[in-house]
């Protein structure tokens, strides 16, 4: 297990130093979903800037009531300045404007981009930096919406795998209700991260660590070549989400 005491100190200092020494902003802003990643980031932000951390809770009509309750309880527990913005009317207006039904994947991506638009708009009004909540597993897999939940100014948890996020959350004292929930972006009713990806995070992270370390032999022996190849292909095909847009050379 990692030294989470040291990691907490490093990440809190990272947030504090960036906002006080490298930015003209005065506040930190996060989107709080009721999930474990945003809970960990909110806890770190509250430790770094206890009076200057703001949060938006942005449910749709399909959002889990439990997730909304957990998000509210987290914000109150941490003493965050928070607002609730239901984005369903924005999603409905989008569908009406294009004049066609939108499938659940498009709705999920749109929801993520609407939330990020609201975060950046609100950040301008309160002079804040938008803090990201994507972990290393999600970033490597490309499991996120480009210009949506992947967009941020700074990200304190981008070097922690999802399985490490669970351990870190326990160390930070995140509520067990949040820790014990199945990971979900809550983009539609019954949505589950692991069901979408097709593997548990324990399997995914072991293979991702092999990719990062340049040694997949143990993963092939344990999970089989087909499984490893599938994860490797996903990492490679979504590499563009982790980079600035490619500009053609002339």
Q: Which residues are annotated as a binding site?
A: 31-38, 113, 133, 138, 162, 184
Paired tokens of 84: 């609730």
- Residues flagged as binding site for Mg(2+): 37, 138
Spatial separation of the C-alpha atoms in residues 165 and 156, rounded to whole Å: 12
| Letter string b/e over residues 115-129, b meaning 16 or more CB atoms within 10 A of that residue's CB | bbebbeebbeeeebb
- Residues flagged as binding site for ATP: 31-38, 133, 162, 184
**Closest C-alpha among 30, 7, 10 to residue 154:** 30
Paired tokens of 6: 């040291």
Helix orientation angle between 65-78 and 36-48, rounded to the nearest 10 degrees:
10
Distance of CA 104 to the CA centre of its chain: 19
Strand partners, 31: 56
- Residues flagged as binding site for deamido-NAD(+): 113
Please calculate the CA angle 27-33-37 and round it to the nearest 5 degrees. Answer: 80
End-to-end alpha-carbon separation of the chain, Å?
49
**Closest C-alpha among 77, 84, 79, 150 to residue 122:** 84
Spatial separation of the C-alpha atoms in residues 246 and 244, rounded to whole Å: 6
């Amino acid at each position: 297990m990692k030294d989470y005491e040291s990691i907490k100190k490093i990440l809190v200092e990272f947030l504090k130093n960036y906002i006080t020494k490298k930015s003209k902003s005065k506040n930190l802003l996060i989107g709080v979903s009721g999930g474990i990643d945003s809970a960990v980031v909110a806890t770190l932000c509250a430790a770094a800037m206890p009076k200057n951390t703001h949060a938006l809770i942005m449910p749709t009509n399909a959002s889990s009531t439990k997730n909304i309750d957990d998000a509210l309880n987290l914000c109150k527990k941490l003493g965050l300045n928070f607002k609730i913005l239901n984005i369903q009317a924005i999603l409905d207006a989008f569908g009406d404007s294009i004049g066609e039904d939108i499938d659940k994947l498009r709705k999920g991506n749109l929801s993520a981009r609407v939330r990020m638009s609201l975060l950046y708009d609100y950040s301008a009004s309160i002079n804040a930096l938008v803090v990201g909540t994507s972990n290393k597993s999600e970033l490597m897999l490309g499991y996120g919406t480009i210009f949506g939940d992947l967009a941020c100014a700074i990200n304190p948890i981008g070097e922690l795998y999802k399985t490490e996020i669970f351990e870190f959350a326990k160390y930070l004292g995140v509520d067990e209700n949040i820790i014990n929930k199945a990971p979900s972006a809550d983009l539609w009713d019954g949505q589950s991260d692991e069901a979408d990806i097709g593997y548990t995070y324990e399997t995914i992270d072991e293979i991702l660590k092999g990719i990062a370390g340049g040694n997949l032999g143990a993963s092939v022996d344990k999970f089989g070549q087909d499984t490893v190849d599938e994860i490797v292909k996903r990492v490679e095909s979504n590499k563009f989400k982790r980079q600035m847009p490619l500009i053609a050379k002339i």
